[in-house]
Homo-oligomer: A and B are copies of this chain.
Amino acid sequence: MNPVNLSLYLVLDPDLCGGLDGMVATTRTAVANGVTVVQLRAPQWKKRQWFDAAVALKAVLAGSGVPLVINDHVDIALAVDAEGVHVGQSDLPVAEVRRLVGPDKIVGLSTSNAAQLAAVPLALIDGGIDYIGVGPVYPTGTKKDASPVIAPADFAAMMLAKRCPAVAIGGIALGKVAPLIRAGADGVAVVSAICGQPDVAAATQALFNEITEARA
């Protein structure tokens, strides 16, 4: 399993960030203030936009130690030599993703309920998947095809059942982080809690502090 610090996982939304320049600026500020992973996710974009954005984000993240994870498109990840790929249940099968990117890249998989989590074969945990995304844990407006919200008790059960690191996702905002960390999440993924915030630095620091306090 490739180690990844899931603590504060930023999923960039191009619209909320105000396009490519906004994504770059948001990333720079967020990484300087505690974000540990950056994911590019732009399902409405053509591949050339993905490529241009991924190249720009790689440059911003160079030397930071923060990995760039590409949502869905393994070809973009390969083209820019991104550190990771994140796929959902309707994307390429994880075993294919791992075969394409090789052993050293981070591979994440979304799971939306206990059944999807249970369906992940142990063989993938041992060689295919480095972490799972679990959500939505709250109602979300930034993912059009989101699954039903996972109830707190069900989320807690998934955290007990999981056999690899997990990041919670979906509608996570300041003040809603601590219960997830206490239930066993290794980190939280946010979109609108950072993208489009009037003060990205302060928003990121506040989220980071909530994670740290919940772990104490």
Task: Write the residues of chain A forming the contact surface with B, with a CB cutoff of 8 angstroms.
Answer: 46-49, 51, 72-76, 78-79, 87, 89-93, 96, 99-100
- Which of chain B's residues has its CB closest to A73's CB? B75
CB distance B72 to A47 under 8 Å?
yes
- Which of chain B's residues has its CB closest to A91's CB? B47
CB distance A93 to B46 under 8 Å?
no
CB distance A100 to B78 under 8 Å?
yes
- Which of chain B's residues has its CB closest to A50's CB? B92
Of the candidates B75, B76, B91, the one whose C-beta lies within 8 Å of that of A46 is B91
Q: For the complex, give the distance between the alpha carbons of A97 and B110 in Å.
A: 27
Contacts of A75 in B (CB 8 A): 73-75, 78, 92, 100
Q: For the complex, give the distance between the alpha carbons of A151 and B49 in Å.
A: 30
Q: For the complex, give the distance between the alpha carbons of A48 and B73 in Å.
A: 12
Contacts of A76 in B (CB 8 A): 92
- Which of chain B's residues has its CB closest to A46's CB? B90
Interchain residue pairs with CB less than 8 A apart (29): A46-B90, A46-B91, A47-B72, A47-B90, A47-B91, A48-B89, A48-B90, A48-B92, A48-B93, A49-B90, A51-B92, A51-B93, A51-B96, A73-B73, A73-B75, A74-B75, A74-B78, A74-B79, A75-B75, A75-B78, A75-B92, A75-B100, A76-B92, A78-B78, A78-B100, A79-B92, A79-B96, A79-B99, A79-B100
* Closest beta carbon of chain B to A79's beta carbon, Å: 5
Contacts of A79 in B (CB 8 A): 74, 92, 96, 99-100
* Closest beta carbon of chain B to A88's beta carbon, Å: 8
